[in-house]
Structure 1
Amino acid sequence: MEIQTSGRPIESLLEKVLCMNILSSDYFKELYRLKTYHEVFDEIYNQVDLVEPWMTGNCRGPSTSCCLLYKFFTMNGLLKQPDSPYIRAILKNV
């Protein structure tokens, strides 16, 4: 199944290496437990403290915010939510 937003596949919205790293990250795999938008919003509220595509430091894996953005793409639609500036920042460019 091809994930699309605005008629374009997600891979055309994020760089290919980032997408591959998101899909193979342990954190993204843990996000499978989140089934509703509200659960993802709570995860953003509790876990995100910067909005960058890559983690800082030596690890250089995909950031929490990018993994959560990809999770939204896999949920068949997006919502706008006013409770957290991090939620709005992640959804702003969608």
Structure 2
Amino acid sequence: MSAEVQTCGKPIQTLVEHVVNVNILSSEYFKELYRLKTFHEVVDEIYNHVDHVVPWMTGNSHGPSPAFCLLCKFFTMKLTDEQVQGFLNHADSP
């Protein structure tokens, strides 16, 4: 049995810059992520919607990027060491 990944005992909002965190939590995209319940569903969402990693979307929209919304989604899940290692070592993971 794998151990759960810890967040160093800190709340999620202390792990991401305040303005980014507020914008993520209030974004429609992040709210839509509540429908994703499993690790594999979130990984599929990353594969389908993330092509770069920056805190803000580019262009005229200044909302949080899908990458950071999905990162925060992972923070809300109790990922195991095995899931994190599998994600990092996956062939599609840069």
Runs of 4+ in 1 over 3 A off after TM superposition: none
What is the deviation of 1:77?
3.0
- The structure, 1 or 2, with the larger RCO (C-alpha pairs under 8 Å, 6+ apart) is 2
Q: Which residue of 2 aligns with 1:91?
A: none
Unmatched tracts of structure 2, length 5 or more? 1-5
1:36-87 superposed Cα distances (whole Å, 9 cap, x missing partner): 000000000111000111111121100000000000111123532133325x
Q: How many residues align?
A: 83
**What TM-score, normalized to structure 2?**
0.79
Q: Which residue of 1 aligns with 2:60?
A: 58
Q: Which residue of 2 aligns with 1:42?
A: 44
Q: Which residue of 2 aligns with 1:85?
A: 93
Which is further off, 35-44 or 76-85?
76-85
Select the structure of larger CA radius of gyration.
2
SS state at 1:21 partner: helix
What is the distance in 2 between the residues matched to 1:67 and 1:18?
A: 9
- Coordinate RMSD, CA, aligned: 1.5
Question: Which protein is richer in strand relative to its size?
Answer: 1
Q: Percent same amino acid among aligned pairs?
A: 61
**What TM-score, normalized to structure 1?**
0.79
